[in-house]
Amino acid sequence: MTKLAIHIILLMVLTTLLALGIAYPFLSGDYDRLAMPISTMIQVFGLVGLALVPVGVLWLVIPKHRFAFAITALIISTFVILVICLFATLSVGKSLGMLMLLLWTFIVVLLIPQIKSLKNQPQNKANWLPVYLIYLPIFTLLFQLTFAKHLTQLSRNRAIENANRFIRHIEEYYTQTGQFPLTLQAQNKDYYPDVVGVEKYLYAPHRKGYNLSFEQPRFLLDRFGTREWVVYNPLDENSVYSHTAWLLPTEQAEPSQGWYASGETGHKHWKYFLFD
């Protein structure tokens, strides 16, 4: 197999892995607590990693300075990894951030001899590394921008549709007892959203009705820093709160909820709420 074929196959494999990694939390399946952090880290690479693109372009245009460009790419890559480690720490914990940092340190140790060898390479020798520096960040960013709305809507619709059985059983309970359940907290969930990035449905009585909600996974660049909760209320009195303390008795007639925007989902009695 020629080197050209090897690099093409490798690019195809990396493209597939990056795309699947980003889309994973929005696909059908059992909940995976690492799905969203992994997706976010890849998305961060697609944004911060754009700093590698000019280096790759210059490397292709002026190959005689490949050693200097390789050193520059290594420094920028270290900065990119530090940003990714920060997101890993914030989304999961210090352990994942440290693990990512240790993994990058190991990779750097392996790369240093390869970079040193560039000094002795003939100037006309083809090098595929700048192609990777250009292609991978650009593809990762474009994938986010292209599929963000579609994947978000697809996963939201699936979680809403899979809540129908849960809602039907709540309504049957009301028909039999004349009241809605006071709580549905239990060890086993029994009702599953069937979205990898959605852990569970949350039930809470509300006035004469109830709220059934779940947290919707979102893309990094889709209103950066926003968290989305999707809420069902049979009386269209949908509500969700950003602080537990606001639910405790106060002098306020109606506690503040904390969301900055809301909208219709396209499903009856379902609304979404956006928190920053």
Please write the tens of the pLDDT for every residue from 182-218.
Answer: 999 988 889 999 999 999 999 999 989 999 999 999 9
- Report pLDDT for 146: 96
- Report pLDDT for 262: 93
Whole-number CA gyration radius for the chain = 24
Chain center to CA of 189: 23
Identity of residue 155: S
Q: How confident is the model at residue 127 (pLDDT cuts 50, 70, 90)?
A: confident
- Give SS3 for 228: strand
Is the pLDDT at 242 greater than 80, yes or no? yes
Lowest pLDDT segment from 63-77, 82-96, 118-132, 184-198: 118-132
In a 13 Å sphere around the CA of 240, the CA atoms on its Cβ side amount to 25
Mean pLDDT value of segment 37-45: 96
**Burial of 82: CB neighbours in 10 Å, binned 0-12, 13-18, 19+:** middle
Closest-CA residue to 252 (of 243, 265, 261, 260):
243
Q: Is the pTM of this model over 0.85?
A: yes
H/E element, 68: helix 66-91
